[in-house]
Chain A
Amino acid sequence: MFPLKDLKRSLLVSLWFALLTFPLMVIQVDPIERVVNWRWHNMFFVAMGSFVISVVSKVFFAQKEQQLARKRDAGDEVSETLFQRVLHEPRALFLLSMASLVFALAFPFLFSTYQTNVMTTALMYVVLGLGLNIVVGLAGLLDLGYVAFYAVGAYSYALLNHHFGLGFWTVLPVGGLMAAFFGILLGFPVLRLRGDYLAIVTLGFGEIIRLILENWNDFSMGPSGIANIARPGLFGLDLNLNMAILYLYYLMIALLMITVFVVNRLQDSRLGRAWVALREDEIACQAMGIDKTRTKLVAFALGAFWAGIIGVVFAAKTTFVNPASFTFLESAIILSIVVLGGMGSIVGVIFAALILILLPEYLRFLSEYRMLVFGAILVLMMVFRPEGLISNRRRIYQFKKKG
């Protein structure tokens, strides 16, 4: 049976929650009538709800623990989830990716333009997540200023388009290269830093870029931003708004496919190996003859490159950029995507980006509780899957026994 000690704990949890949510759930000030409504029944619901959830989760954990113990006794290895098994079966993975590709291609015809637009944004974050994944997930360099490179890309297009009338396709590689250049610029001074120190410097870098854009009026037009940026062109055709959204959506699908391909190849390359090794032990890396400086700089530059590309797409999509779009919050969201998805895991990052960007959209029916629920979901995800949604299991060599 359920032990009494746990029951007591659950009771305490429910009391604590009732107390915590008291100001939010119980007190309601009516400014017109100038009275306070005390909604005591809410306190009761909160207490009951948290009590039930606490008990259920305790039972759930206890069972899981027992299962694990039984398996360990039986000598089994801790099994992979169904999903991981699918990912390691090449044919199943192929089918899965084909199915999702078909769905993605059909998406605009199944759903409204609004949904397509939201999805385009989500896809942009997928690519941003994959880019940051190179820096954080593979090379292990904690970068809190990733949004700076995004801003560099966006402003590259905005300014080049505004002053010189350059088109989207011309600026797309230029924006990426500009961002990569800034990546190297940031990379040089921080080469010696690791972990927390690196995080602080990159955070500072992100803010510097934003503050420059905000205050250097002659260059970036300050907080008012740059408007009327051209949308991406399609062989000089005149697209109406709906068509433009559709075009941008397919463009993002193509970009995503290229990114996934490149990142996947990078992971298995010599360079990818060097990154992973650098993440694990720097001294050993040097002893193995890996050029520490170059390897780190390439990671920064490649990560920044993708951010720059997406920055250009962002400027083209919204047709307006201002510094407010490039706050630290953006960096934090992109980093959350990487961490939630599972460091270094491509599929994980894709899922996490979709969840993190789409969830707030589809939680709109909850109105003011939207962000509260969103936060709760994030916490739960980290509690239940601390290694990320789909943790990256690196390829394992399989050896078949002879005879």
Chain B
Amino acid sequence: MAPGPLQIGKKMLELKNIQTSYGNIQALKNVSLHINIGEIITLIGGNGAGKSSTLMTVSGIIPSQAGKVLFKGQEIQNLKADQIVAMGICQVPEGRHIFPDLSVRENLDMGAFLRRDRAGIKTDLEYVYSLFPILAQRRSQSGGTLSGGEQQMLALSRALMARPELLLLDEPSMGLAPLIIRQIFEIIKKINQEQNATIFLVEQNAHQALHIADRGYVIENGMITLTDTAQNLLNNDEVQKAYLGI
């Protein structure tokens, strides 16, 4: 589904004054942001700023206390995680969470769990194999025996198998070598262009993330403190000091 002229600039996801807490600790105090159809946006911030909590709230794994999450104009903050996936939002959880005892192929099949169109699944399988030829080589190997980079590729591919409209990526660069990180980010960009997937990228590696993103948000202590185009953020003094180490 290519974004038609009318759809460009339309909101895919909107968070309005989201508050989330773990027990007594409030992780998100007031988060509002939006993602337009076809965009890559990135949420950057330090440890414990609330990046992952934002994603987990969107995907319904942690419930929010207040505020609204709108997906294509529909409220989804009260839906269960599996219903949200069924609507077309797929998350690649932090730390990859692949199924260690299932084979690569079975992991990918799990990604297509909610789909029934055999032909479409087959095309998508070939597509992810073409994105990551190494996975095709290792398809009958069990997931736990893959290297970290390969596991990240598998987690990303598995999410693609759900053919999501909105892809939530939680720190895809975590624990990977710089070369692999660059490769993963290139693929993310490619997925955005070829599959028309809108991408919400949460990253510590602000430099790489801002390079492929259209816009960015900065989160601190559970609140959005800054938002701009990715290019402007890269040139922003404060961002450079705090997150880019320049």
Contact = CB atoms under 8 A, between A and B. Distances in A.
Contacts of A290: 82, 113
Interface in A261-305: 270, 273-274, 276-277, 280-281, 283-284, 286-293
B101 interface: yes
A284 B113 contact: no
B82 A277 contact: no
A346 B38 CA distance: 48
A292 B93 contact: no
A283 B97 contact: yes
A161 to B, nearest CB: 42
Q: How large is the interface on B (under 10, 10 to 19, 20 to 34, 35 or more residues)?
A: 20 to 34
Interface stretch (B7-15, B103-111, B178-186): B103-111
B93 A289 contact: no
B126 to A, nearest CB: 13
A362 interface: no
Nearest to A289: B85
Contacts of A273: 106, 109-110, 113
Interface in A245-274: 270, 273-274
Nearest to A274: B113
A275 to B, nearest CB: 12
A286 B81 contact: yes
Most chain A CB within 10 A, of B60, B97, B98, is at: B97
A291 B80 contact: yes
Contacts of B61: 283, 286-287
A286 B162 CA distance: 13
A397 B158 CA distance: 17
Nearest to A294: B82
B77 interface: no
Given A274-B113, A396-B140, A288 B102 contact: no
B113 A399 contact: no
Nearest to A396: B140
B153 interface: no
B82 A286 contact: yes
Interface of A: 270, 273-274, 276-277, 280-281, 283-284, 286-293, 394, 396-399
6 contacts: A284-B97, A286-B61, A287-B59, A289-B81, A289-B162, A399-B140
